[in-house]
């Protein structure tokens, strides 16, 4: 009765083989590598580019371990970090600005394993180092911006239809438009409802004023928010690409949040700076009529002329700029850092798109002799970068910004302008940065504590339960391997709490074998024959094992659904570990027991480490 | 090898009242610690910034404090972390600076004194994220408890479900009590440990209950007390060996796992120790008080016979 049919052994053998195959990629380690991917839509990544990169590296005399093309781009592996860094510079120099060349780590596993899709587990940020950000999009401000643009629309519609309003302003709930009398208002209402359909209009009397209150329709509001989020994600992707990070993650999280993960980033301060910035450019006219010292002084004391804004430059010089924005960053098609031809100061050279060029040409034509200000707007604060005098009409959309910038600032500003503006400001509401050395320490500690714990546990169980103990330890090893294999197959992200969960799960999984072994000992004590004791031990223990594992599983699943970040990693490992442990502790260990004892007709005693203490007194 | 050579059943239930009184006292103590001292919640829950920086040689904490103070960060808490070269700095949220910028500023400030300073870790959590985590954590605890009660009510009987969850919530409260009393930091991994313990120690109660049910079938003439005593005595060996094994693993994490996992392992240790205690000395007496009887568990068979008659 203690025999397994062949198919059961076949299942065990298959599981163990699959376990081995999918676990071993984790032991090959990783090599330094570079990853080349396209930055612009036009740039192609194909075999000819791979050839080009190989040639570049051969010319520089850099030894390449392997180079190949896959769906993420071209990857080249090196022996050491020195050749990796040299290669990065060589390839970036040779390919120019159309490609991103990022540093990366690639698994060393042989290609036959990779072709089976046997890949190592993905290491979480706390193990490999890197940055995790959670950014919150400021939706009220996106809506406010939208209201202001609708205000312009309404103004234009009424002007075109010759409707005279006395006042228009953005109020708390929407846009308020005041009229002299009801007949004009009713006329306006009809016109607006036909021409600007994104808003709901309500006629109102407030005190003596006759007005229309226009509110953005809820579905339009939703659309605006979705658009703002998508636009921000796109912008963030562009910025991350410019940073040159391998395998970055930029994705939506909830209705108004974005997760950004940059594995392996060393200069976290720069990453934060670039991601967190909301810089956009505004081109505005200097109000030359009000730039006399008296008006400026008055403005600084708080009496700013209507239609103007008071904005300072870096040195603190005040400017009164017209509220009307001629151009914004949206019209920029490219931005490059460089130097001013005459003063050799650091500068940013902008190229405007078609419409931007014509607006800029028209503005410069009409304002020769006046000053035009380039304003960098960053979350709530504006700064005049430069306000040169227009000497002649500027055609062709080539614009240069130069002020008191350093080369680094010029470089960063160009990057920000090139990557596009954010549709709505964003704020970092969660940050996790792990330095590379801490990551390495964490891996070390995690593995050390698991191995030492496992060794101590194995030793104890083997001594305490003798042959059955060794079988239990074998089952536990199979469990650990299957757990690692399943995690690798799922390409789960391994984190430090995840490693802790592996250790804890193994410590708990031994419970099943302890239950079985104790049960068998008890049956023997009650005088059952060894063969019957094995059967009874496994059968009686099974119900208990099932019940206790299901309750643990309930806790694990709840942890997964309500947990975030590191807790989820813990929960995934915990749940999978419970499932693999039921398989290995019951099915696999029974298989081994059957193999050893099942074929024997008569067994004198089972090597389960029990003594005969109960017999002596009876 | 064999540790437990017990011939007679140990009369655990004779002392049920004493154990329950001890439990109630411990429980009240833990609740008191929670009420008066409160949990020392980690930055994940409260919002704020934690930085871990590594110096090339032993760090001078008072000098670090001084430089932070002169930079206008007098609220910063500075302490060594793990070894003398690693320093942990806690910064409260400042309204005028976003958390992300704050840590950069502090790092630059400290780097002036030691250019070789290394930034090992930054955790910044905005206050709204923290509030959400507290909510989610509480919800997780509730769902786990309910799920377990429902499962046990389905597999055994509602009295067992209730007894198990009461016994184990008692464990959870005592773990929390320890964290409040000693003001150990209660972080996300600790929460994970607490929830894992909830599952794990219910597991323990389930094993005892399974045995009680089996005994009701086998020991037809025994009283309820005798049935429970026998079940606990028979299962003692496995209880100690299992928990000892799990504790071996946890001990290894506690010793070799580093600072990040320290409190996680500590919470598990307390949980495992009280898990043994509660399943024997709390859950079983509770089942007794709730008035469990043979008929509660072996009803189906009785009904079948009636149907035949």
Mean pLDDT of A84-98: 81
Q: If residue A543 lies in a helix (H) or strand (E), which one and from where to where?
A: helix A530-562
Mean pLDDT on A465-488 = 93
The alpha-carbon gap from A124 to the nearest alpha carbon of chain B, in Å, equals: 14
Please check the confidence at residue A348 and state whether its pLDDT lies above 80: yes
Residue B99 binned pLDDT confidence (cut-offs 50, 70, 90): low
Residue A409 has pLDDT above 90, yes or no: no
Average pLDDT of the segment spanning B128-139:
83
Of A466, A507, A567, the CB nearest to B192: A567
The reported pLDDT for the residue numbered A13 is 93
Which tens digit of pLDDT belongs to each residue from A288-311? 888 888 888 888 888 888 778 888
- Give residue A227's pLDDT: 83
Q: Whole-angstrom Cα distance, residue B115 to residue B110? A: 8
pLDDT level of residue A379 (50, 70, 90 thresholds): low
Q: What is the distance in angstroms between the Cα of B50 and the nearest Cα belonging to chain A?
A: 10
> Is residue A399 within 8 Å of A350, Cβ to Cβ?
yes
| A548, two tokens | 């206790």
Looking at the complex, report in whole angstroms how far the Cα of residue A567 sits from the nearest Cα belonging to chain B: 6
| Mean pLDDT on A326-351 | 79
On the question of pLDDT at A184 being above 70, the answer is yes
B77-81 and B118-125 strand pairing:
unpaired
Model pLDDT, residue B305: 46
Is the CB of B245 inside 8 Å of chain A's CB atoms?
yes
pLDDT of residue B303: 43
Query: Mean pLDDT throughout B284-299?
Result: 76
Question: Looking at residue A428, what is its pLDDT?
Answer: 82
- The larger pLDDT score, comparing residue A224 to residue A244, is at A224
Structural contact between residues A445 and A495, judged by C-beta atoms closer than 8 angstroms: no
Q: Over the stretch A125-143, which tens digit does the pLDDT of each residue have?
A: 888 888 888 888 888 878 8
Q: CB–CB of A387/A370 below 8 Å?
A: no
Q: Domain B48-125, what architecture?
A: 2-Layer Sandwich (3.30)
- Residue A402 in contact with residue A343, Cβ under 8 Å? yes
Dihedral angle of Cα B38, B40, B43, B49, to the nearest 10 degrees = 120
Contact A511 B242 (CB under 8 A): yes
For residue A18, what pLDDT is reported? 92
**pLDDT of amino acid B175:** 92
Question: Which one of A136, A500, A510 would you mutate to disrupt binding with B, by most B Cβ within 10 Å of its Cβ?
Answer: A500
Residue A521 pLDDT exceeds 70:
yes
Average pLDDT over residues B44-64: 86
- Which distant-in-sequence residues (6+ apart) come within 8 Å of A164 by Cβ? A158, A179, A180, A184
Q: Does A453 touch chain B (CB under 8 A)?
A: yes
pLDDT tens sequence across A578-617: 999 999 999 999 999 998 888 877 777 778 877 777 776 5
Q: Check pLDDT > 80 for residue A422.
A: no
Split at pLDDT 50, 70, 90, the class of A83 is: confident
Cβ distance A503 to B253 less than 8 Å, yes or no, reads: yes
Its ipTM equals 0.85
Q: What angle do helix axes A218-243 and A139-160 make, rounded to 10 degrees?
A: 120
- Please check whether residue A240 is in contact with residue A260, taking contact to mean a CB–CB distance below 8 angstroms: yes
Domain boundaries, chain B: 12-41+129-304, 48-125
Q: Which range has highest mean pLDDT (A236-245, A374-383, B82-91)?
A: B82-91
Confidence of residue A462 (pLDDT cuts 50, 70, 90): very high
Give the pLDDT confidence score for residue B183 in this predicted structure. 92
The CA distance from B278 to A213, in Å, is 66
The yes-or-no verdict on residue B300 having pLDDT over 60 is no
Q: Which residue has the higher pLDDT, A472 or A412?
A: A472
- Asked whether the predicted pLDDT for residue A369 surpasses 60, the reply is yes
- A401-427 residues labelled b (16+ CB within 10 A) or e (exposed): bbbebeeeebbbbbbbbbbbbbbbbbb
Q: Is the pLDDT of residue B187 over 80?
A: yes
> How far are the Cα atoms of A279, A551, A606, A607 from residue A339, in angstroms, in the given order?
21, 68, 86, 84
* Shortest Cα distance, chain A CAs vs residue B309, angstroms: 31
Contacts of B199 in chain A (CB under 8 A): 551-556
Would you state the pLDDT for residue B306?
45
Among A457, A483, A554, A566, most B C-beta atoms within 10 A, so best to mutate, is A554
Residues of chain A with pLDDT > 70, as a percent, come to 95
Rounded average pLDDT over A545-564: 83
Residue A335, phi then psi, degrees to nearest 5:
-145, 130
Average pLDDT, stretch B198-226? Answer: 84
Interface check B120 vs A, CB under 8 A:
yes
The domain B12-41+129-304 is classified under which CATH number: 3.40.50.2300, 1.20.1640.10, 3.30.1240.10, 1.10.8.590?
Answer: 1.20.1640.10
Residue with structure tokens 């290609």? A111
Contact A275, A260 (CB under 8 A): yes
List of chain A residues whose C-beta atoms are within 8 Å of the C-beta of residue B237: 518
Task: Return the number of other C-beta atoms located less than 10 Å from residue B40's C-beta.
Answer: 14
Are the C-beta atoms of residues A139 and A424 closer than 8 Å to each other? yes
A549: nearest Cα among A528, A524, A531, A576: A576
A133 touches chain B (CB under 8 A): yes
pLDDT number for residue A16 = 92
Check if the beta carbon of residue A513 is closer than 8 Å to that of residue A472: yes
Say which residue, B16 or A39, is predicted with more confidence: B16
pLDDT level of residue A425 (50, 70, 90 thresholds): confident
Look at residue A599 in the predicted model and tell me its pLDDT: 80
């Amino acid at each position: 009765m203690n025999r397994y049919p062949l198919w059961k052994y076949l299942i065990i053998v298959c599981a163990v083989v699959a376990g081995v195959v999918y676990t071993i990629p984790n032991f090959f380690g990783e090599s330094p590598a570079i990853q080349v991917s396209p930055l612009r839509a036009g740039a192609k990544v194909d075999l000819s580019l791979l050839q080009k990169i190989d040639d570049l590296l051969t010319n520089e005399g850099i030894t390449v371990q392997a180079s190949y093309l896959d769906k993420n781009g071209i990857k080249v592996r090196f022996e050491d970090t020195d050749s990796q860094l040299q290669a990065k510079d060589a390839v970036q120099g040779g390919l120019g600005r159309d490609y991103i060349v990022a540093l990366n780590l690639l698994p060393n596993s042989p290609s036959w394993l990779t072709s089976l899709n046997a890949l190592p587990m993905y290491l979480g940020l706390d193990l490999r180092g890197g940055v995790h950000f959670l950014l919150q999009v400021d939706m009220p401000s996106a809506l406010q911006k939208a209201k202001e643009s609708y205000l312009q629309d309404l103004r234009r519609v009424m002007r075109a239809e010759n409707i005279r309003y006395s006042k228009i302003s953005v109020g708390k709930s929407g846009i308020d438009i005041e009229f002299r009398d009801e007949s004009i208002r009713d006329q306006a209402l009809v016109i607006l409802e036909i021409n600007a359909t994104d808003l709901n209009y309500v006629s109102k009397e407030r005190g003596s004023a006759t007005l229309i209150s226009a509110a953005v329709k809820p579905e339009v509001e939703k659309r605006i928010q979705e658009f703002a989020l998508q636009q921000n994600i796109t912008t963030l992707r562009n910025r991350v690409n410019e940073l040159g990070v391998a395998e970055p993650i930029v994705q939506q999280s909830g209705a108004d949040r974005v997760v950004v993960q940059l594995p392996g980033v060393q200069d976290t301060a720069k990453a934060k700076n670039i991601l967190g910035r909301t810089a956009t450019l505004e081109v505005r006219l200097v109000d030359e009529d009000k730039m006399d010292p008296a008006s400026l002084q008055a403005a600084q004391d708080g009496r700013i002329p209507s239609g103007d804004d008071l904005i300072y430059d870096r040195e603190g010089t005040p400017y009164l700029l017209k509220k009307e924005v001629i151009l914004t960053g949206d019209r920029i098609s490219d931005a490059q850092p460089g130097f001013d031809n005459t003063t050799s100061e650091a500068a940013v050279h902008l190229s405007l798109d078609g419409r931007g060029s014509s607006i800029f040409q028209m503005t410069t034509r009409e304002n020769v002799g006046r000053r035009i200000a380039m304003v960098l707007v960053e979350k709530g604060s504006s700064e005049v970068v430069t306000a040169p005098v227009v000497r002649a009409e500027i055609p062709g959309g080539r614009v240069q910004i130069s002020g008191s910038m350093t080369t680094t600032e010029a470089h960063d500003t160009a990057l920000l302008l090139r990557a596009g503006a954010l549709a709505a400001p964003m704020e970092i509401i969660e940050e996790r940065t792990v330095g590379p050395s801490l990551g390495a320490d964490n891996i070390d500690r995690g593995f050390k504590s698991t191995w030492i714990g496992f060794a101590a546990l194995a030793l104890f169980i083997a001594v305490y339960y003798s042959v059955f103990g060794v079988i239990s330890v074998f089952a536990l090893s199979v469990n650990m391997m299957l757990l690692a294999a399943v995690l690798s197959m799922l390409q789960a992200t391994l984190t430090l709490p995840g490693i802790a969960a592996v250790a804890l799960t193994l410590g708990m999984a031994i419970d099943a074998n302890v239950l079985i072994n104790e049960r068998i000992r008890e049956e023997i004590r009650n005088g059952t024959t060894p063969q019957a004791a094995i059967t009874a031990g496994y059968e009686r223990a099974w119900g208990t094992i099932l019940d206790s594992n299901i309750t643990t599983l309930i806790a694990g699943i709840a942890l997964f659904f309500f947990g975030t970040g590191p807790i989820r990693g813990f929960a995934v490992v915990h749940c999978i570990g419970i499932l693999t442990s039921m398989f290995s502790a019951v099915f696999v260990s029974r298989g081994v027991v059957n193999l050893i004892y099942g074929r024997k007709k008569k067994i004198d005693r089972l090597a389960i480490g029990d003594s005969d203490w109960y017999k002596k007194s009876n | 090898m064999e540790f437990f050579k017990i011939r007679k059943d140990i009369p655990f239930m004779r002392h049920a009242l004493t154990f329950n009184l001890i439990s109630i006292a411990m429980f009240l103590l833990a609740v008191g610690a929670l009420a008066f001292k409160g949990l020392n919640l980690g930055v994940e829950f409260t919002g704020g910034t934690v930085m871990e920086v590594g110096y090339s040689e032993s760090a001078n904490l008072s000098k670090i404090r001084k430089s932070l103070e002169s930079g206008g960060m007098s609220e910063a808490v500075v302490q060594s972390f793990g070894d003398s070269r690693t320093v942990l700095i806690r910064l409260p949220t400042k309204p005028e600076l976003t958390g992300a910028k704050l840590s950069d500023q502090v790092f630059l400030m400290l780097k002036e004194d030691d250019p070789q300073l290394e930034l090992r870790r930054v955790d910044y959590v905005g206050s709204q994220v923290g509030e959400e985590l507290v909510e989610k954590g509480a919800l997780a605890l509730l769902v786990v408890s309910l799920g377990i009660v429902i499962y046990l009510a389905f597999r055994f009987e509602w009295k067992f479900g209730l007894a198990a969850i009461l016994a184990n919530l008692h464990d959870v409260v005592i773990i929390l009590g320890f964290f409040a009393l000693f003001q150990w930091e209660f972080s996300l991994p600790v929460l994970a440990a607490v929830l894992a313990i909830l599952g794990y120690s219910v597991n323990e109660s389930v094993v005892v209950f399974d045995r009680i049910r089996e005994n009701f079938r086998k020991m037809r003439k025994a009283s309820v007390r005798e049935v429970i005593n026998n079940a606990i005595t028979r299962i003692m060996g496995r209880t100690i060996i299992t928990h000892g094994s799990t504790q071996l693993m946890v001990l290894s994490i506690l010793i070799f796992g580093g600072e990040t996992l320290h409190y996680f392992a500590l919470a598990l240790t307390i949980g495992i120790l009280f898990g043994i205690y509660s399943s024997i000395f709390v859950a079983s007496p509770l089942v007794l008080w709730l008035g469990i009887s043979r008929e509660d568990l072996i009803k189906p068979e009785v009904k079948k016979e009636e149907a035949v008659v």
